[in-house]
Chain A
């Protein structure tokens, strides 16, 4: 009976069973055996055994990424000393789906574990998760859906690809369901380049599908807009993805995957208060924002600066949405629409706050 592959599972505070956003500051801790989805992972794959789970809060890791990663490495080394003969072969992190902070922690941890401990590592992310762009080069990533509905499928995929990694088998995006890493790998085709070129041209000419062997890189960078020369006479607007809306959420902006943004008045207001405004963002602990919404949308400071003449004037309308698992396409649309509205009203610069 072949030995089971020993796996450490990394989870955030929520999936690790510590709690919700209020536990997002949790420092890394070690638990023997599987927790939360780790139990399902264990069950799905007889070849793997989740021997331990490491849980850390998303905020803790986001704000102390280096330190947090070091602490986790130390935990691993501490619990698996060489002389005890317990050899770890694989670290599975997540799945983090489209959660940005969680994804970044998974990516950083996988990278560190690979390079520093020589253990194979794998995470599972939704392709638009910002962590993908940051870590895909170094870290293998299974392509996951954008929410927890895809948990079972993601766990199955992680087990499957994780085993391949441990066995040293090549991982290919199409076959294995992984996110392309932007790493070019040589291989011997069954046909010569000349044959493939003619074949590709014939397909192209006939309008049939063909696949290029090298996709041109796409660089979506925006040229920086010119700086404001005379801020003292400029109109500045506030926009936030932190979900700060008038109390009662009149536009019913969703706590996640927001389908709209809101346009709200600032006229006559000197500051935001707990009575007048609230946070509807589901992706962070709203306690502090609710107590004082200026912590996310700094109206009070903007008014001071306006009075002092540091800025010409604050645009009387602000725009808000919830930047929690928002798809790139939707975010782009929001941005385009808000931009048009602002430009139309003569706004010259924007301060954009995110949580």
Chain B
């Protein structure tokens, strides 16, 4: 799905846990997430810590969207 969004001209940041799958599938801007059941969170942390983690990941995604790339890249 990510490829189709990109094909339509919208840079797309893929936040996901299994980076190799994302690469194989062909996503161009990849941001590794925390874990499968909670990609943008961590129940082991406090609410504030979680928010901070989430924010950091989304900001990484924004940076990926702001970066010109020639081929697939993992932004971590």
Contacts and interface: CB of A to CB of B under 8 A. Distances in A.
Interface of A: 21, 24, 59, 62-63, 100-101, 104, 130-131, 133-134, 220-222, 224-229, 231, 236-237, 239, 241-242, 284-289, 291-292, 294-296, 298, 300-302, 304-305, 310-311, 321, 323, 331-332, 334-336, 338-340, 342-343, 347-355
A228 B62 CA distance: 9
B66 interface: yes
Contacts of B28: 222, 224-225
Nearest to B52: A301
5 contacts: A130-B21, A131-B21, A288-B43, A295-B40, A354-B14
B9 to A, nearest CB: 5
Nearest to A304: B55
A313 to B, nearest CB: 14
Given A229-B66, A285-B37, A354-B14, 7 more contacts: A224-B28, A227-B68, A237-B10, A242-B39, A338-B5, A339-B10, A353-B33
Nearest to B58: A301
B40 A296 contact: yes
Contact of A104 (B7, B18, B66): B18
Interface string B16-34: 1110111011111100010
Return the 4 tightest CB-CB contacts between A and B, nearest first: A335-B4, A295-B41, A335-B1, A339-B8
B31 to A, nearest CB: 9
B74 to A, nearest CB: 13
B68 A226 contact: yes
A355 B17 contact: yes
B36 A228 contact: no
A334 B58 CA distance: 23
Given A296-B38, A342-B8, A352 B2 contact: yes
Contacts of B38: 288-289, 295-296
Q: For the side of the interface on B, what is the size category?
A: 35 or more
Given A104-B18, A347-B10, A354-B15, A332 B4 contact: yes
Most chain-A CB neighbours within 10 Å: which of B9, B17, B18, B36? B36
Interface of B: 1-18, 20-22, 24-29, 33, 35-41, 43, 50-51, 54-55, 57-59, 61-62, 65-72
A291 B66 CA distance: 32
Contact of A352 (B13, B20, B26, B67): B13
A353 B62 contact: no
A338 B10 contact: no
Contact of B11 (A227, A284, A294, A304): A227
A133 B24 contact: yes
Contacts of A340: 8
Contacts of B3: 220, 222, 332, 335
Contacts of A354: 14-17, 22, 33, 39
Contacts of B4: 332, 334-336, 338-339
B10 A350 contact: yes
A323 B36 CA distance: 12
Nearest to A229: B66
Contact of B39 (A225, A227, A295, A300): A295
Contact of B7 (A321, A334, A339): A339
Nearest to B73: A224
